[in-house]
Structure 1
Amino acid sequence: MENGIPDKIVVAVDTIILAMGQSGLEVMLVKLKNKPYENCWALPGSVVGVFESLEETAKRILVKRVGDSRLHLEQLYCFGNPNRDARGRSISVAYFVLLSNKEKVNSHLTEQYLDMKWFNVNNLPEMAFDHREIVKVAMEKLAYKLDEIEIIRPLLPTKFTLSELQRVYEILSGKKIDKRNFIKKVKNDEMVVPTMEMKTGEAYRPAKLFRFK
């Protein structure tokens, strides 16, 4: 190190992989195997390869964890606190992706990880690095972009009820929404159209199914 400048700065990519679960919005975490973060949970990530772009690194992580690199990735933020990594100076560029079905995720573990689980974003375990902060920033970004269809679309099936759509809005915003006002907003925004089909087989009465325009 010369004049306070480290000899080496590691550039990494961390991915916030999100999906709807029974308990609400959930994030995929992996349990690390190596010290000094042994048994700590973290976001799936990787050091950027010498000949890789940041997005190519993020897609490589997606292939390993989800089996698909074609999903819509969005860059979140760059995290560079000098003390974020106990192993040395590192900078992380975070990307987030939203999944419609977490059951399709590849649960195969690598030599880096002891385990992989989904956690509710409001009930996270002890996490390595600054990954808890990264999840927090991702949730703030989602709440800010709530009116963009591309944020909502991946979290719902192709056909859905207005109640299911409202649940996603409430989870991402962290607020309860009046049902009548929500239906009025959806109709005014013309973001969905009816499918002429009904959702049946549930404990409650059949409900109309909609799809995004």
Structure 2
Amino acid sequence: MENTAYIRLHHRVLVQPNQKIYLHDIAQIIVDPEVKEPLSKLIIYEASESDRNIIIIDVIQVVQEISRHFPKLGIEMLGPTQTIVEVVYKKKKYSLPLFFITWLLLFFGAALTIMNFHEDVGMEAVHQKIYEIMTGRKNEKPLLFQIPYSIGLGVGMILFFNHVFKKRLNEEPSPLEVEMFNYQQDLDQYVIMHENKESMKKIDGH
């Protein structure tokens, strides 16, 4: 073989409807400069309306296309064995009334959840008891503890989620981001198993 191409598929890429998908769109390529330009522009797939919004490109499909056009080229595949191609259609405009309704539901839902939790564990009684132990006096509304506690609750949530509006406090991912990442990984694996025709052939035995 006169040359070897090292190819690493991307995990997920975005394309437009009816777009031709070239090899350089879905993979990193390391190969001799003389071969890289035509290899990069090799058409692997062309998105159509029948594909809907998810296309799975398998490593076998990529190898077959390369071998068909570059029969003397050696191929070394690295990394993922499938690429998830997401076809991005025009996004619908956001509805401002729907946004405010959703915001209100989330706000009051979260507020009620916190209040019900505090009521269940008797947080007010705990504050009263701590105040009595520390000062020797009873107080039905120990604001000395309740105000700092309320502020600390808000600050703690900001630190926990690692965001103030769109600003990130540090580079460490928040627990919510980690959970979303794990969810996306599971979702991608499900899509690969159910959308990949090569895998379905093996499962169905056809």
Band the TM-score falls in, shorter-chain normalisation: under 0.3
In the superposition, the TM-score normalised over structure 2's length comes to: 0.20
Q: Which has the higher strand share?
A: 1
TM-score (norm 1): 0.20
